[in-house]
Structure 1
Amino acid sequence: MTETQTRLDGRRFVLLMYGVIIGIAGVLGVVLGAFITMGSAPRLFFLIPLPPTALGFAAYGMVTVAVGLGIPLLLVIYLSERLDTETARGKDT
C-alpha cells in the first residue's frame, strides 16, 4: 500500500467519525426534545432562536458539535498540508 492510499484512508476514517459524532448529537437532541420538557428554547450561537421541539434541539446539537469539532479539524488539516508541503520542499533542495 502506498503512502497516498494510507493518507486517504485516514481522512475518510476521520470524516466518518466526524459524521457519526454529529449524528449522535442529533439523535440525543431529538431524545432530549421529545422526552424532557424545558422552559426555554435553545439559541444557536446565542443569536438564532430555535423552537423548543425535538427538531430544534437536534439542530442545535448537530450544528454546535459540527462547528465545535469542525474548526479544530480544519486547523489540523491546514497545518498537516502545510507541513507536508514544507517537508517536500526541504527534500527537493
Structure 2
Amino acid sequence: MTRLEGPRFVLILYVLLVAISGLAGFLTATFVSGLRSPKFLFLIPFPPTQLGFAAYGTLTVALVLGVPLLLVVYVSRYVDDAAAQN
C-alpha cells in the first residue's frame, strides 16, 4: 500500500477537484437550457456547449486553486524562516 505523503496528497486532491469542476460544467450544460456563453477571466468567451462549460469550469478552478497553491510551494521552498535560524 502506498502512503499518501503531503505533496502527493495535495496534487491528487487538486487534480480531483479540477476534474470534478469540469464534470460539473459538462452536467450543467447538459441539464440546463438557455445558457449564455461563459467568459474565462471576463475576456475569453467559451461556446455555451457541454465541452465549452466543461473547459470553462476546469480552467477556472485550475487557476483559482493553482495560483495560491504555487505561491504556497514557492514560499515553503524559497523563503527563509527567520525563527528557524535563531
- The TM-score with structure 2 as length reference comes to 0.84
Shift of 1:38: 2.9
Residue of structure 1 equivalent to 2:65: 69
Spell out the pairing of 1:37-48 with structure 2 (5 A cutoff): 37-48=33-44
Residue of structure 2 equivalent to 1:19: 15
Indicate yes or no: 2:74 matched with 1:90.
Answer: no
Give structure 1 regions of 4+ aligned residues with deviation exceeding 4 angstroms: none
Residue of structure 1 equivalent to 2:30: 34
Aligned length: 82
Report the Cα distance in structure 2 between the residues aligned to 1:59 and 1:53, rounded to whole angstroms: 10
Greater C-alpha radius of gyration: 1
Residue of structure 2 equivalent to 1:9: 5
Shift of 1:39: 3.8
Show CA shifts across 1:3-51 (max 9, x none). xxx9x92111100000000000011001001110134111111111111
Report the Cα distance in structure 1 between the residues aligned to 2:38 and 2:68, rounded to whole angstroms: 24
Report the Cα distance in structure 1 between the residues aligned to 2:30 and 2:9, rounded to whole angstroms: 31
Residue of structure 1 equivalent to 2:50: 54
Q: Counting helix residues as a fraction of each chain, which structure ranks higher?
A: 1
Could you tell me which runs of 5 or more consecutive residues in structure 1 were left unpaired when the two chains were aligned: 1-5
Show CA shifts across 1:44-65 (max 9, x none). 1111111101111110000000
- Whether the 8 Å contact between 2:46 and 2:52 is mirrored in structure 1 is yes
Q: 1:39 to 1:23 in 2, by over 3 A?
A: closer
Could you tell me which runs of 5 or more consecutive residues in structure 2 were left unpaired when the two chains were aligned: none
